[in-house]
Structure 1
Amino acid sequence: MTLEAVLASVHLLAILTLVVFLSSQAALCRVEWMNAAVVQRLAKLDMIYGIAAVVLLLLTGIARLVLGAKGMSGYVSSPLFHLKMTLFIVAVLLSLKPTFTFRRWKKALDATGQLPAAQEIQQTRKWVMWQSHLVPVIAVVAVFWARGM
């Protein structure tokens, strides 16, 4: 039972870390706030977001799947588990465009000092906002799933 509590706690911590850095991206990715420091910060936030998503969230999820109290069959037999995993994959796919965009912005800034165009900032913010709205849906599915519904 202690291992299950530790794994669940670390998984929750990973989710909260992901939410904090995704929210920070959403807050900063605005036309009126864009400057060289924000471009640098967005690239750094995205790197931390990626680490939280892949290293912390995915690895703790796999650890719960393999070592958790329910066992693998207890997890994969639930349709809500598959919905949660599908939504997680959608969130990962949604994160790719902003990730590549932030890297491109940083590269252009470092090479030429050029800031992104207003329209590109607005489009990228929309992608970040889609991700940030999907994460709570994943959490709600997880709550229902954890309660055996």
Structure 2
Amino acid sequence: MTFEAVLASAHLLAILTLVVFLTSQAALCRVEWMSAAVVQRLARLDMIYGIAAVVLLLTGIARLIWGVKGMGGYVASPLFHIKMTLFVVAALLSFKPTFAFRRWKKTLDATGQLPAPEEVKQTRKWVMWQGHLIPVIAVIAIFWARGM
């Protein structure tokens, strides 16, 4: 029982960390706020977001394998499959901003040039798609955890 609580706590901590750092990216990735410091910060935030996503995946797998419900309790539910599909979609959506933030930082370090306003707007759209998808995953998880 204690091990299950540790797994659930680690999973929840990863979720909250992921949400905080994605929200920070959404707040900072704006044309009107773009500066050298923001480019550096976005790259750092994205790295932590990526680490949180990996920890979230690993703790989820740990709960799948060693959790109280057992693997059968998870994979038998259609909501589990919907949740996992949406997690993969969110992960795929994160690639474009990640590559953009890395490119911006590399360009800034090499030339001192900030990203073009249109690229900032496009990247923010991808971040916002993730930001709107993750709460949907959480709602599905709530219904699934209650046996729906």
TM range (shorter): over 0.9
Q: Report the equivalent of 1:53.
A: 53
Post-superposition CA distance 1:110-138 (Å, at most 9, x none): 11001000010001000000000101000
Aligned-pair distance for 1:47? 0.3
Large movers: runs of 4+ above 6 Å:
none
Deviation by residue 1:56-100 (Cα, 9 ceiling, x = unmatched): 101100100000000011100100000000000000000000000
> Secondary structure of the residue that 1:116 maps to in structure 2?
coil
Q: What TM-score results when the alignment is normalised by the length of structure 2?
A: 0.99
CA distance in 2, matches of 1:71, 1:3: 13
Root-mean-square deviation (Å):
0.5
**SS in structure 2 opposite 1:57?**
helix
Structure 1 residue 4 displacement after superposition:
1.2
- 5 Å matches for 1:56-67? 56-67=55-66
Q: Does 1:140 align with 2:139?
A: yes
Structure 1 residue 3: Cα displacement: 1.3
Aligned to 2:129: 130
Equivalent residue number for residue 82 of structure 2: 83
Superposed CA deviations along residues 27-59 of structure 1, whole A, max 9, x for unmatched, are 0000010000000000000000000001x1011
SS class of match (2:114): coil
SS of alignment partner, residue 114 of structure 1: coil
TM-score norm. by structure 1 comes to 0.98
1:23 alignment counterpart: 23
| 2: CA distance, partners of 1:138 / 1:58 | 13
Structure 2 unaligned spans of 5+: none
Secondary structure at 2:8's aligned position in 1? helix
Identical counterparts, % of pairs: 83
Query: Which range moved further: 1-10 or 45-54?
Result: 1-10
**Separation (CA, whole Å) in 2 of partners of 1:119 and 1:105:** 13
Matches within 5 A, 1:36-47: 36-47=36-47
Paired residues, number:
148
Give unmatched runs, 5+ long, in structure 1.
none
